[in-house]
């Protein structure tokens, strides 16, 4: 008999039919002559209750049905007599497909710490919290594709191995097949990458943007959605060495269009989660409320998870130029009382995450789009502003900051002038030999265009309320960790 997914059984409400379910045991408890098993197959946050009559089926049939064991259960789907579930399965046959020896299985029917679960990432999707996060991760990915597809954007597959450093920050993982012990050297005694697999030095991409621009300059509107890699040694709750990024790139968009699209995009995918994953979000909402209740009053978030998501969906983001943000920070009591760790606030500085968090969490209490940043702290490809405030050189950049997360999106209008871009590339001593094609886009058929990058895991953190980015990706990669 073909098995039916638990999500389907719980929705069907059809009673007195014979069904087969397969899944993993969450808990088993017994009373006189009956065993009650909570079984889950990942299709929903909810378990299905299996009722086993031990007098008819024998004590032995559930002897090995410990937490974590995999079962195939055939039985009758009946209206439940107990509270807490509408239907349950009255078992006629229980087969243990895979045992889980309770003396050895690391997962027990109790709350485990996040650190413990990371060390047991091969089993953590079996917990309620992680299966919920994984379902939402899937749902958000689907919503992202749907949003762009419905708008006429094309999904462009940018390469994972590249010869260029899109962000120019030098935080790349090298890709090579040269012998690490004994690499060929050139006449300057440096590694001779011309003898490497690709005939040049290559690395894992930090961003698909530059190739995305090739797509936009032919297809109009495109987006990339793939893994990106950064070898920055930041051991924080918001950084991964391997994370997924969504990078739309649009021909004929100015910065204002870019900001409007980014807001519409985020609101769309969050609304999709609210509409399609209510049970998972309810579970996460309660989970977060419990966590918050253990914090000091002044550190507690004022809104619950679902309330926060609704707020973001229903309200415009606050827009503010970088220069205005500096003024807000300078006139804040927080600054005047010397409360920022980095309290020397001045125009031209790169905002620290404490400053960003102050703006979104204390000052505006909502998502904030900061734009027109000083050119010296931003990437080479950003469009230079022409109507600058006197003495202030800015580029048409935008960052979107979220409460509890910090930077969720980074983007800009791109410099479309060949001469201006060439000057920046030359001034910054960037390698022309790996950027020639990027400059060519400005030489032949150039056009105003813009785009942005959304960090997928940071979005999932916001939607799920999970505090650590390592807990929203199935197999996190961070310094000193690449198990699983
Ligand atoms: O601001 P970033 O570096 O922008 C770019 O890469 C541009 N090429 C995007 C574009 O315009 N097409 O990165 C974009 C976003 C950040 O806002 C952040 O959400 C996320 O990517 N991000 C990270 N997420 C997890 N771990 C890291 N180490 C991240 N670095 C950036
Ligand atoms: Mg950025």
Q: Give the model confidence (pLDDT) of 426-450 as tens digits.
A: 999 998 888 999 999 999 999 999 9
- Looking up tokens 């999709």, which residue turns up? 272
79-89 pLDDT, tens per residue? Answer: 887 777 789 99
Tell me, in angstroms, the distance from the centre of ligand 1 to residue 181's CA.
34
What is the residue with the minimal CA distance to atom 24 of ligand 1?
Answer: 455
Query: 230 CB under 6 A from ligand 1?
Result: yes
Query: 215 CB under 6 A from ligand 1?
Result: no
User: What phi-psi label fits residue 157: left (phi over 0), alpha (psi between -120 and 50 degrees) or beta?
Assistant: beta
- At 370, the pLDDT band (50, 70, 90 cuts) reads very high
* Torsion angles phi and psi, residue 155, rounded to 5: -80, 110
Tell me, in angstroms, the distance from the centre of ligand 2 to residue 169's CA.
11
Other CB atoms within a 10 A radius of the CB of residue 360 amount to: 22
217-231 pLDDT, tens per residue? Answer: 999 999 999 999 999
DSSP strand pairing (318-321 vs 161-162)? unpaired
Q: Kindly identify the ligand whose nearest atom is closest to the C-alpha of 235.
A: 1
Average pLDDT value over all residues in the chain: 94
Q: Kindly identify the ligand whose nearest atom is closest to the C-alpha of 473.
A: 1
Atom of ligand 1 lying closest to residue 469 CA: 25
Ligand 1 pocket mutation pick from 245, 356, 379 by most atoms within 8 angstroms of CB? 245
- At 268, the pLDDT band (50, 70, 90 cuts) reads very high
- Half-sphere exposure of 123 toward its Cβ, with a 13 Å CA cutoff? 20
Other CB atoms within a 10 A radius of the CB of residue 112 amount to: 16
27-55 pLDDT, tens per residue? Answer: 999 988 999 999 999 999 999 999 999 99
The pLDDT of residue 388 is above 70:
no
Length of the chain: 484
104-161 pLDDT, tens per residue? Answer: 999 988 889 999 999 999 999 999 999 999 999 999 999 999 999 999 999 999 999 9
Query: 163 CB under 6 A from ligand 1?
Result: no
Q: pTM of the prediction? A: 0.96
**Which residues fall within 8 angstroms of residue 344, CB to CB, at 6 or more apart?**
none
Task: Give the helix/strand (H/E) hosting 20.
Answer: strand 17-31
Contacts by 52-55, CB closer than 8 A, 24 or more apart: 52/91, 52/94, 53/90, 53/91, 54/30
What is the residue with the minimal CA distance to atom 28 of ligand 1?
Answer: 239
Query: Mean pLDDT over residues 162-180, rounded?
Result: 87
Q: Which domains does the chain have, with CATH numbers?
A: 6-107 (2.40.50.140), 126-158+255-455 (3.30.930.10)
Contacts by 424-427, CB closer than 8 A, 24 or more apart: 424/380, 425/380
The pLDDT of residue 165 is above 90:
no
Distance CA 324, CA 321 (A): 5
The pLDDT of residue 463 is above 70:
yes
Residues linked to residue 91 through DSSP beta bridges, in sequence order: 75
pLDDT at 82: 75
Task: Give the helix/strand (H/E) hosting 398.
Answer: strand 394-402
pLDDT at 390: 61
The pLDDT of residue 166 is above 80:
no
Task: Give the helix/strand (H/E) hosting 148.
Answer: helix 128-150
Which residues have CB less than 5 Å away from ligand 2 (the ion)?
410
Do residues 225 and 145 touch, judged by C-beta distance below 8 A?
A: yes
pLDDT over 70 for what percent of the chain? 99
Tell me, in angstroms, the distance from the centre of ligand 2 to residue 350's CA.
11
What is the residue with the minimal CA distance to atom 7 of ligand 1?
Answer: 453
Do residues 139 and 149 touch, judged by C-beta distance below 8 A?
A: no
pLDDT at 299: 81
Token pair recorded at residue 227 = 């893994």
388 vs 378 pLDDT, higher one:
378
Closest-CA residue to 153 (of 50, 294, 251): 251
pLDDT at 391: 65
Query: Mean pLDDT over residues 203-227, rounded?
Result: 97
Distance CA 294, CA 185 (A): 58
Do residues 207 and 159 touch, judged by C-beta distance below 8 A?
A: no
Query: 397 CB under 6 A from ligand 1?
Result: no
What is the residue with the minimal CA distance to atom 29 of ligand 1?
Answer: 239
């Amino acid at each position: 008999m073909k098995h039916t997914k638990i999500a389907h059984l719980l929705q069907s409400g059809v009673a007195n039919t014979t069904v087969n379910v397969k899944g993993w045991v969450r808990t088993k408890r017994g009373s006189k002559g009956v065993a009650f098993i909570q079984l889950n197959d990942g299709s929903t946050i909810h378990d299905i209750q299996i009722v086993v009559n031990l007098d008819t089926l024998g004590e032995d049939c559930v002897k090995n049905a410990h937490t974590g064991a995999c079962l195939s259960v055939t039985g009758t789907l009946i209206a439940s007599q107990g509270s807490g579930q509408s239907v349950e399965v009255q078992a006629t046959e229980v087969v243990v497909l895979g045992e889980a020896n309770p003396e050895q299985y690391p997962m027990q029917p109790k709350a485990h710490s996040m650190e413990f679960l990371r060390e047991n990432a091969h089993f953590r999707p079996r917990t309620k919290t992680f299966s919920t996060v994984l379902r939402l991760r899937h749902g958000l990915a689907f919503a992202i594709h749907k949003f762009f597809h419905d708008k006429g954007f094309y999904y462009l597959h940018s390469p994972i191995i590249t010869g260029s450093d899109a962000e120019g920050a030098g935080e790349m993982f090298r890709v090579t097949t040269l012998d690490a012990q004994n690499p060929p050297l050139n006449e300057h005694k440096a590694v001779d990458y011309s003898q490497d697999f690709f005939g040049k030095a290559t690395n894992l991409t930090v961003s698909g943007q530059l190739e995305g621009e090739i797509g936009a300059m032919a297809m109009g509107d495109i987006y990339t959605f793939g893994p990106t890699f950064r070898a920055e040694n930041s051991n924080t709750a918001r950084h991964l060495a391997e994370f997924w990024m969504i990078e739309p790139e649009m021909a004929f968009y100015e910065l204002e269009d870019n900001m409007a699209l980014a807001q519409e995009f985020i609101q769309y995918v969050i609304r999709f989660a609210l509409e399609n994953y209510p049970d998972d979000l309810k579970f996460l909402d309660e989970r977060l409320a419990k966590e918050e209740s253990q914090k000091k009053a002044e550190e507690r978030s004022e809104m619950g998870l679902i309330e926060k998501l609704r707020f973001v969906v229903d309200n415009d983001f606050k827009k503010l130029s970088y220069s205005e943000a500096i003024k807000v920070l300078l006139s804040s009591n927080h600054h005047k009382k010397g409360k920022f760790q980095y309290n020397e606030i001045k125009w031209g500085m790169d905002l620290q995450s404490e400053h960003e968090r102050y703006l979104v969490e204390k000052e505006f209490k909502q998502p904030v789009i900061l734009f027109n940043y000083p050119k010296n702290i931003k990437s080479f490809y950003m469009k230079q502003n022409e109507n600058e405030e006197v003495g202030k050189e800015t580029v048409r950049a935008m960052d979107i900051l979220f409460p509890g997360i910090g930077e969720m999106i980074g983007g800009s209008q791109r410099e479309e002038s060949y001469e201006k871009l060439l000057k920046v590339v030359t001034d910054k001593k960037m390698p022309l030999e790996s950027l020639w094609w990027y400059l060519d886009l400005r030489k032949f058929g150039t056009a105003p265009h813009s785009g942005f990058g959304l960090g997928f895991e940071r979005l999932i953190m916001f939607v799920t309320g999970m505090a650590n980015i390592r807990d929203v990706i199935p197999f996190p990669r961070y310094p000193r960790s690449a198990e699983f």
